[in-house]
């Protein structure tokens, strides 16, 4: 099997012409291939072809394609009515119902029709490629070719190898996806592959924060966007995906990993599914999308006055950014060498970046009653909002002074109930831990994990690169402290991450 891409004259067949199948067909036709479309639903393939041709015409109107190129791409789309019409296909991509038996039957039937060198590329997002291949006489020809929705716009394609997949088949699909203008990454057939596995903590930690009453949905979403740099907060994202879909994927990964606590589904989301509140598509989810519904706003602390002398300690990223922002605001302060990890004090309040302990625990262990914790930010220089928590021992005036200091530095401040790890820090630590575990288990490479999360779900930074930026030892400490706080296996630390700490290296080294 060649490791070069399939030639442009090679016929690509797409079975299943819903949004995903039609998107894949559009990508293949735009890349110059003749594309045959088949769907069991009457006239569905014809409708898909008409829709894709309309997309090409629209691209021509916008100047993204010449009129001639749009016309030629549209003419390469061929609706067909039976499996027998796919006999000359070099690659058959299925985007049918997410059901193991249906996919097995389709490819088993195709084995009697197509040539021996035809590749089977399943677009499954959650079913084992190994299991689909088990029903075939030649499972080595099958690999996952997992696009993300919408396929024409999303760059990532996961090339998933099952136990029997021939390496040459995976390499050919990798080269073909690259030739189609996509960014492919190799993955092993394990539950969730890369993206659907590594992304679970983004939802799970937010759901846990909500269940503990740390803050409301709109506030957690705002912190994840405005401090974490994510394009969408977890609750608005789940509402957009649909809880029927998101909850099903979480359950699928959880069951596939034999009920590993790390992937435990949330009772809050179960309730939404039970109610039929699937999000935007049903008008209700975490938020109310019905006409006339009030748009929730994040909880933001009222303006406070920073009372007392301000000292910024050490030269950490957070301390340097705070000093820069205070200087810009015109507020006077002094710098001092690092002391016990604090980044600043004002009056009686002492500010630290969270390390996965609650502020109350940290205050008790350090003897610093007026402990105020701030959350992680992707970039403290550019962040517009920060989450904070204060120890129960902390005097109200000290909390007010700390809030005033951060407000003077230009942050909107959202105060959380004193939960371990706050929002961005615990989420980033868990995303990095899951990515590290995927690498450790041979699912993908470090670069593949980061690339997949940036391109597949638009994270502002790959989780492993982010962990390097924060500091692997700091991430390890956050996870260890979360594990101690909750007493759960959910926060166990990946061996790969542990080794990186002990070797005093970055995780990408």
Q: Which of the residues are catalytic?
A: 125, 146, 158, 196
State the Rg of the chain over Cα: 26
Query: Any idea of the CA torsion for 256, 259, 260, 266, to the nearest 10 degrees?
Result: 110
Q: Which helix (H) or strand (E) holds 156?
A: strand 156-161
Q: How far apart are alpha carbons 132 and 452 in whole angstroms?
A: 23
Is 94:123 a contact under the CB 8 Å cutoff?
yes
| 3-class SS string, 308-364 | CCEEEECCCHHHHHHHHHHHHHCCCCEEECCCCCEEEEECCEEEEECCCCCHHHHHH
Q: How far apart are alpha carbons 425 and 477 in whole angstroms?
A: 11
Owner of token pair 């999360």: 453
Burial of 331 (0-12, 13-18, 19+ CB in 10 A): middle
Give the number of other Cβ atoms within 10 Å of residue 115's Cβ. Answer: 9
Burial of 223 (0-12, 13-18, 19+ CB in 10 A): buried
Task: Give the N- to C-terminal CA distance of the chain in Å, as an integer.
Answer: 33
How many residues appear in the chain?
509
Question: Could you tell me the strand order of the sheet in which 142-147 lies?
Answer: 77-79, 35-38, 11-15, 89-94, 119-122, 142-147, 156-161, 183-188
């Amino acid at each position: 099997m060649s490791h070069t891409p399939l030639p442009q004259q090679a016929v690509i067949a797409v079975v299943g012409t819903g949004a995903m199948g039609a998107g894949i067909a559009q990508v293949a036709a735009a890349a110059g291939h003749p594309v045959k479309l088949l769907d069991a639903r009457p006239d569905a393939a014809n409708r898909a072809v008409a829709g894709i041709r309309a997309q090409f015409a629209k691209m021509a109107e916008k100047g993204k394609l010449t009129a001639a190129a749009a016309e030629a791409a549209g003419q390469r789309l061929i609706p067909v009515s039976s499996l027998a019409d796919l006999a000359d296909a070099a690659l058959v991509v299925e985007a049918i119902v997410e059901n193991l038996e249906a996919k097995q039957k389709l490819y088993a039937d195709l084995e009697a029709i197509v040539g021996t060198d035809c590749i089977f590329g399943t677009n499954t997002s959650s079913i084992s490629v190994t299991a689909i291949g088990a029903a075939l006489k030649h499972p080595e020809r099958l690999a996952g070719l997992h696009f993300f929705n919408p396929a024409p716009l999303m760059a990532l394609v996961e090339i998933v190898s099952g136990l029997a997949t021939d390496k040459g088949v995976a390499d050919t699909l990798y080269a073909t996806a690259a030739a189609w203008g996509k960014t492919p990454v190799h993955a092993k057939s394990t539950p969730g592959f890369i993206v659907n596995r590594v992304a679970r903590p983004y939802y799970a930690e937010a759901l846990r924060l909500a269940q503990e009453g740390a803050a409301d949905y709109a506030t957690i979403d705002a912190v994840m966007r405005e401090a974490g740099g994510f394009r969408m907060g977890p609750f608005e994202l789940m509402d957009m995906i649909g809880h029927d879909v998101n909850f099903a994927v979480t359950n699928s990964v959880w069951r596939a990993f034999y009920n590993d606590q790390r992937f435990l589904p949330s009772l809050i989301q179960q309730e939404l599914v039970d109610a039929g509140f699937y999000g935007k598509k049903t008008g209700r989810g975490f938020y109310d999308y019905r006409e006339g519904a009030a748009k929730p706003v994040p909880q933001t602390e009222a303006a406070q006055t920073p009372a007392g002398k301000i000292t910024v300690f050490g030269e950490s990223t957070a301390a340097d950014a705070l000093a820069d922002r205070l200087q810009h605001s015109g507020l006077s302060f002094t710098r001092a060498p690092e002391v016990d990890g604090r980044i600043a004090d004002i009056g009686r309040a002492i500010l630290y970046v969270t390390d996965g302990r609650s502020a109350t625990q940290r205050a008790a262990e350090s003897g610093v009653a007026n402990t105020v914790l701030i959350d992680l930010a992707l970039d403290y220089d550019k962040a517009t909002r920060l989450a904070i928590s204060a120890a129960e021992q902390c005097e109200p005036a000290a909390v007010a002074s700390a809030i005033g200091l951060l407000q003077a530095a230009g942050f909107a401040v959202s105060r959380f109930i004193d939960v371990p790890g706050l929002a961005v820090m615990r989420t980033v630590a868990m995303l990095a831990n899951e990515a590290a575990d995927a690498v450790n288990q041979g699912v993908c490479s470090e670069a593949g994990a980061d690339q997949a999360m940036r391109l597949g779900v638009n994270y502002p930074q790959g989780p492993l690169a982010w962990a390097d930026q924060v500091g692997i030892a700091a991430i390890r400490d956050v996870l260890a402290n979360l594990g101690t706080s909750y007493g759960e296996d959910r926060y166990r630390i990946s061996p790969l991450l542990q080794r990186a700490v002990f070797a005093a290296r970055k995780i990408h080294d």
